[in-house]
Amino acid sequence: MNHLISLHDLSAAEIKSILELAAELKAQLKEGVPHQLLKGKTLGMIFTKSSTRTRVSFEVGMYQLGGHPLFLSSDDIQLGRGESIYDTAQVLSRYVDGIMIRTFAHKDVEGLAQYGSIPIINGLTDLLHPCQILADLLTIYEYKRRLKDLKLAYIGDGNNIANSLLHGCAKVGMHIAVASPAGYECDQQIISESLEAAKISGANITLTQDPEEAIIDADVVYTDTWISMGQETEKEKRIKLFMPYQINTKLFSKAKADAIFLHCLPAYRGFEVTKDIIDGPNSAVFDEAENRIHVQKAVMALLLGNRS
């Protein structure tokens, strides 16, 4: 593993190693055991999209590993204001030990990996969000003690979260059903990649427009905001279109009785999910949010520290 661009690039064994190290680092943190695996290392963090969880979890995680996080907003660097990805990758490769980037265009992440000489971590693009799905997988394992042959139902927009869930579930052998309205399905290339990976892992992939079909007998129920950053002008249209996909008591009751609810946050109660679900006994959203820091620490340790 040289970069974390997409979960499709990783083997099932590599994903397992990330989750195992994340669990180990989480346990050590809870026990007060220091683990400064990246002492003396610096992570450049490029943000062209604002963030709460991504910035705080990477920044604090890097500190806990003994390294130094360097926050770089679009106001701090020349990327996007005339300087090319090539020049940015070349220069930062001389200064820092790794780059995490949270941005709009997925090609920017790929360009940094292509032209730089240091590890690149995809903190989020409009296409994929691999760090979030690693946190999701760790959370699911903590609750269910396995991943293979579980069923995850994703209900809502076929966005970067849905795309990376397809990748992640297909790699680890978890069945996944995605329900999205027509015109808002997952990326076709992502679907094709996931179907190929599922042939190896034994995962079943179901794509439907019917949320009730998707959620039947699910062990995990997942949704995301209907209006992602940059889609604000579509708000009224999207709310009307997606309201039948709301996770509420009636829909959630069709999942297994012990199903857990996940949401990558921020959540908008009364829209994609009702308060009684996200704040109810089946919700694991804050454990899920916490696990961002643990899986990202594992990714940074494996990439920047050459830990195997």
Q: At what angle do helices 130-144 and 285-304 cross, to 10 degrees?
A: 120
Set 53, 64, 108, 132: catalytic member: 132
Set 3, 8, 106, 129: catalytic member: 129
Set 131, 169, 186, 264: catalytic member: 264
Q: Is 102 a catalytic residue?
A: yes
DSSP per residue, 269-308: BTTTB-HHHHTSTTB-HHHHHHHHHHHHHHHHHHHHS---
Q: Is 231 a catalytic residue?
A: no
Set 3, 126, 224, 238: catalytic member: 224
Q: Is 136 a catalytic residue?
A: no
Q: Is 269 a catalytic residue?
A: no
Task: Specify burial of residue 23 (Cβ count, 10 A radius: 0-12, 13-18, 19+).
Answer: middle
Q: Is 132 a catalytic residue?
A: yes
Residue 230: CB atoms within 10 A of its CB come to 10
Q: Is 53 a catalytic residue?
A: no
Look-up of token digits 């069709």: 254
Phi/psi at 263 (5° precision):
-155, 130
Look-up of token digits 């604000």: 232
Dihedral sign, CA of 49, 239, 290, 212?
A: negative
Q: Where are the alpha helices (DSSP H) in 47-206?
A: 53-64, 85-95, 106-115, 130-144, 160-172, 188-201
Contact 249, 276 (CB under 8 A): yes
Dihedral sign, CA of 21, 22, 23, 28?
A: positive
Set 55, 102, 167, 175: catalytic member: 102
Q: Which residues contact 138 (CB under 8 A, 6 or more apart)?
A: 19, 22, 23, 291, 294, 295
Query: Which residues are catalytically annotated?
Result: 102, 129, 132, 224, 264, 292
